[in-house]
Amino acid sequence: MNGEYFGVSKLQMMENAGRVLATEVDSRLTDDESKIIIFAGVGGNGGDGFVAARHLACFGRDVTLVLVGRPDQIQREEVRKNWEALQFMTDSLQTIIAGDSVLISNLDGDIVLDALLGIGAQGPLRPPILHAVKRINEIHGFKVAVDVPTGVNADTGAVSNEAVKADLTITFHRPKRGLHEAEAYVGELVVSNIGLPQEVETLVGPGDVSLVQKTRSPEAHKGDFGRLLVVGGNETYSGAPALAALAALRVGVDIAYIASPLPTAHDIASMSPSFITVKLKGDWLSPRNVTVVKSFIDRSTAVVLGPGLGLHKETFKAVTELIKIIEDAKIPLLLDADGLKVYAKIKHKVDFPMVLTPHTGEYQILTGDELPETIHEKVAHVKKMARELGAVILLKGSVDIITDGERVKLNKYAHNPGMTVGGTGDVLSGIVGAFLSQGFEPFQSAVAGAFINGAAGDFVAYERGYHLLPTDLIELIPKVIDDPMSHMKVRRMPFQSYIRRI
């Protein structure tokens, strides 16, 4: 998904993958009479097989392509185009359409390509794919798997009922995690470049949103999709925790608690009937509130601590105690705003899921250092700090830097200058906190949150100019989550295009 977002079309990637396959197979053949048989499915993996078949036939090889399925089951445009390209190859390529197992029972070859199912396939194999996999394993020829052996889970390496036992697996762009766990099925592993630039790995894009999408089953119960506690707010900043909680609810958490001092909590409760407000005694958070807040920490799946909290000396003590309670309970925590300023005084390396979301000024308070000038130096500095703290840092700026101390992502294209308005950072905290509460790991949550928040802001700027409000972003969160690629319509829009809309 990110490859297409950054300008390399699915058709280009499929062409490059198929060409790589054909070249790799051709380079290993010593006998000009070798018979090649390609088992292809109707999805993207099959499309790679179609391209490989075309190129191998052009190399003068003896190729038989077996479509396991029906042509009318091909849905993706790039797959269909490559299938159509084969229909004119009546002399150089033999094509068999095998909707059932009868037509593949006697097929044989010296080289067998498994292009049946790709990385998205999960669960037990079913006919006719199951029959094709069994036939591939029965053939004595050299077996080559395309991207991942059919039947092997690309993420875990698990095999449900059957999988191709390949002699060689040619995977694309980078090795899939599950391949290292399934050596008995993978055979020799070759990682091939299909024209995706290095930036696809380091830039935040729609593909990062797909990693934090959680399917709702009909049997889901309240709480299955997260219970987020937001601790924040004072008499001046009542909107900050409300924005975070609203954003979390729009992401899809089931319950959003807001723990805030009594007068502020009453104000927040009047803003939306969706909130569950925890009304803390006093005009600011203090140590006497800790027991009550802890009772809600115990029933939450993640905590956002800090938006609009204030820095009264009693609040400082209370936040210090709450961080210790959350750390001991190993509950995912996001620290923002005043919560970050407290943590800056007590910072230490942690061993539980924690995300810090400072802007430049807060980062300087956190580290005691001024940020370097260049983006590369900034990345190195933030990466080092994240590693020292054992946390994920999302440094907000004209280019957001997200790192867990090892991995780094840059959000370069999903945001705009209108987002300097107060409250957009609170929306970001709510989005990231929501994903934490749903069980996603901190780095994924922060990366996806940065894209969603920025993309929502871009849609608002496109429609209304820079006169955006943080509440405008919240309404567009579902649009970005449901169709993150739609951001292509407004990303990198020239500055003058924004100006014309003002």
Which residues are CB-neighbours of 412 under 8 A, at least 6 positions away?
Answer: 203, 204, 399
Predicted confidence band at 502 (pLDDT cuts at 50, 70, 90)?
very low
Side-chain-side CA neighbours of 124 within 13 Å: the count stands at 3
CB-based contact 296:289 (threshold 8 Å): no
Q: Single out the residue in 162, 197, 232 at which a domain terminates.
A: 197
Strand partners, 393: 356, 403
Closest CA to 178 of 156, 152, 163: 156
Do 170 and 288 belong together in one domain?
no
Q: Which two tokens stand for residue 5?
A: 């977002």
| Segment 286-319, tens digit of pLDDT | 999 999 999 999 999 999 999 999 989 999 999 9
| Segment 252-287, tens digit of pLDDT | 999 999 999 999 999 999 999 999 999 999 999 999
Q: Which two tokens stand for residue 300?
A: 């939450």
In this structure, is residue 211 part of a structural domain?
no
Local structure of 429: helix, strand or coil: helix
Q: Single out the residue in 197, 215, 234 at which a domain terminates.
A: 197
Do 245 and 318 belong together in one domain?
yes
Sheet holding 94-98, edge to edge: 94-98, 62-68, 35-40, 111-115, 142-146, 168-172, 188-192
Q: Is the pLDDT of residue 494 over 70?
A: no
Average pLDDT over residues 149-173: 93
| Segment 397-409, tens digit of pLDDT | 999 999 999 999 9
Provide the CATH number for the domain around residue 64.
Answer: 3.40.50.10260
Predicted confidence at residue 492, as pLDDT, reads 55
Q: Is the pLDDT of residue 460 over 50?
A: yes
In this structure, is residue 329 part of a structural domain?
yes
Opening angle at CA 320, ends 318 and 323, nearest 5: 110
In this structure, is residue 413 part of a structural domain?
yes
Do 152 and 250 belong together in one domain?
no
Supply the mean pLDDT for the chain.
92
CA separation for the pair 297, 295 (Å, rounded):
6
| Segment 333-388, tens digit of pLDDT | 999 999 999 999 999 999 999 999 999 999 999 999 999 989 999 999 999 999 99
- Asked which of 95-109, 237-251, 372-386, 488-502 is least confident by mean pLDDT, the reply is 488-502
Provide the CATH number for the domain around residue 240.
Answer: 3.40.1190.20
Strand partners, 192: 172
| Segment 374-388, tens digit of pLDDT | 999 999 999 999 999
CA separation for the pair 9, 249 (Å, rounded):
34
Local structure of 451: helix, strand or coil: helix
Residue range of the domain that includes 479: 224-492
Q: Is the pLDDT of residue 219 over 60?
A: yes
Predicted confidence at residue 1, as pLDDT, reads 65
Give whole-number Cα distances, 248 to 134, 226, 232, in Å. 47, 9, 15
Q: Which two tokens stand for residue 270?
A: 């009047």
In this structure, is residue 500 part of a structural domain?
no
Do 268 and 181 belong together in one domain?
no
